[in-house]
Amino acid sequence: MSTNKALLERRLKVLPKGLGIAFPIFAQKAKNSEIWDVDGNRYIDFVAGIGVLNTGHTHPKITAAVSEQIQNFSHTAGQIASYESYVQLCEELCKRAPIENAKAFLLTTGAETVENAIKIARAKTGRPGVIAFRGGWHGRTLLALGLTGKVMPYKKNFGPMPASIYHAAFPCPANKITEEEALEDLKMIFKCDIDPSEVAAMIVEPVQGEGGFHQLTPSYAKKLREICDEHGIMLIFDEVQCGFGRTGTLFATEQLGVEPDLMTSAKSLAGGYPISALIGKADVMDAAQPGGLGGTYAGSPLGTTAALKVLEVIDEENLLERSKHIGEKIGNFLKDLNLPQIANIRYKGAMLAFDLVDADGNPDADATNALKAAAFEKGLLLASCGMYFNSIRVMVPLTVEEEILDEALEIIKSCL
């Protein structure tokens, strides 16, 4: 049997250096919130495939449904010979999304949904420009990368970025940016860089992912909606990471009191199977000409089957309330530690992050890396994020067993 060490050596020979690996392990099996590597080591998974496994690893209902589907067919291409699960999933998404009179279609990755949202917004408005936000994360394909508001390690050496994209400040107390300052920055973009009459869309995450789990407030979301309405701009909420129960509601948008024109969804949509969705107002979604949307693997029948079961599991296991419980438990645990190196604990549901700072209150990326390394040695997988690389983010499955959650928190405490 292969070992972690042997597989790492093989990996180095055939994979490019640009494809990083967070931990020097290779998975052998996984169940709910635990992973076992090929050397037999067991880990508690607080990363969950980068926010993909809200319903846990190998949930029996999802696995059984996909196993049954694969006996029938694995692929037809949804634009060639479609299937009922594709239509059924879109029906469910349109019914559950906070958009009246919605339509939806399916793709494979989060970046694809983002790019198609921009395509549709440009088709609807006849305009080229896009406003994104600093610290935002929208994917690694070139247009999505242009929208992403963080250079290292994602943009460096890959320019020039696509044209007609402008980045506005994201209001965030931890970064000392008020809503008033962010609004003034947006106004200056309209004065100095692009007239609002040339802007097709604004795209923003209800909770920033890679940027540090900073939350868009309802008040600022309403300001963005007002500006978009005033100038005929499409408002896009990117829910790839913050969606499907992570924030305590199925969509984080539900907590903003604002109806977007378009919404993206991926990651935990299908419990580990690659599928994504774009949902939007019907008249906006219909702006693209026939044949202008799609993709060879778009709306995989394995993904649609899994996603329908994910919705069932979320309902039957009350995972939205479970998400709130997890966030409150971890948040209170960190507060009760009362350690000076912990700052800016923030969460919506189980979408939680906290910063590590030095004695002067400055971002401490070294301490963040040290915590991840120490936790790994004790059997806990943690991920970081943030503009200053000093935020720890929690993406534990919402199905995590209570005793395993307690075990993980004790590891974090001992490491800190």
Which domain CATH number covers 380? Answer: 3.90.1150.10
Q: Do 24 and 150 belong to one domain?
A: no
Q: Do 8 and 117 belong to one domain?
A: no
Give the pLDDT of residue 415.
Answer: 97
Q: Do 286 and 368 belong to one domain?
A: no
Burial-class residue 71 by CB neighbours within 10 Å (0-12, 13-18, 19+): exposed
Question: Residues 365-380: pLDDT tens digits?
Answer: 999 999 999 999 999 9
Q: Do 237 and 299 belong to one domain?
A: yes
- Interval 168-189 mean pLDDT: 96
Which of 270, 235, 237 minimizes the C-alpha distance to 92?
270
Q: Do 161 and 310 belong to one domain?
A: yes
Cα gap 227→244, rounded to integer Å = 28
Give the pLDDT of residue 1.
Answer: 72
User: Which run of H or of E encompasses 392?
Assistant: strand 391-394
Tokens of 360: 């002067």
Burial-class residue 263 by CB neighbours within 10 Å (0-12, 13-18, 19+): buried
Total number of domains in the chain: 2
Output the average pLDDT for the chain.
97
The amino acid that residue 416 corresponds to is L
Q: Do 289 and 323 belong to one domain?
A: no
Backbone φ, ψ for residue 60 (5° rounding): -60, -35
Q: Are 343 and 366 in contact (CB under 8 A)?
A: no
Q: Are 280 and 120 in contact (CB under 8 A)?
A: yes
Question: Residues 114-126: pLDDT tens digits?
Answer: 999 999 999 999 9
The amino acid that residue 313 corresponds to is V
Strands 165-168 and 129-133: parallel
Question: Residues 208-266: pLDDT tens digits?
Answer: 999 999 999 999 999 999 999 999 999 999 999 999 999 999 999 999 999 999 999 99
Give the pLDDT of residue 327.
Answer: 98
Which domain CATH number covers 96? Answer: 3.40.640.10
Q: Do 360 and 238 belong to one domain?
A: no
In the sheet that holds 351-356, the strands lie side by side as: 342-348, 351-356, 391-394, 383-385
Look at the block and give the residue holding tokens 């692929």: 75
User: Which run of H or of E encompasses 353?
Assistant: strand 351-356
Which of 99, 121, 92, 95 minimizes the C-alpha distance to 258?
99
Give the pLDDT of residue 329.
Answer: 98
Cα gap 65→389, rounded to integer Å = 39
Q: Which of 316, 335, 351 is the last residue of a domain?
A: 316
Q: Do 84 and 144 belong to one domain?
A: yes
Cα gap 27→179, rounded to integer Å = 44
- Could you write out the DSSP letters of every residue in 192-207? HT--GGGEEEEEE-SB
- Interval 296-308 mean pLDDT: 97
Q: Are 82 and 254 in contact (CB under 8 A)?
A: no
Question: For residue 254, what are the domain limits?
Answer: 63-316
- Could you write out the DSSP letters of every residue in 84-114? HHHHHHHHHHHHHSS-SSEEEEEESSHHHHH
Q: Are 371 and 13 in contact (CB under 8 A)?
A: no
The amino acid that residue 30 corresponds to is A
Residue 399 has pLDDT above 90, yes or no: yes
Q: Do 201 and 234 belong to one domain?
A: yes
Give the pLDDT of residue 30.
Answer: 98
In the sheet that holds 276-281, the strands lie side by side as: 102-107, 276-281, 262-265, 234-238, 199-204, 129-133, 165-168
Q: Which of 263, 291, 316 is the last residue of a domain?
A: 316
Which of 121, 176, 173, 123 minimizes the C-alpha distance to 147?
121
Question: Residues 138-170: pLDDT tens digits?
Answer: 999 999 999 999 999 999 999 999 999 999 999
Tokens of 311: 């919705």
Q: Do 18 and 165 belong to one domain?
A: no
Question: Residues 37-74: pLDDT tens digits?
Answer: 999 999 999 999 999 999 999 999 999 999 999 999 99
Give the pLDDT of residue 274.
Answer: 95
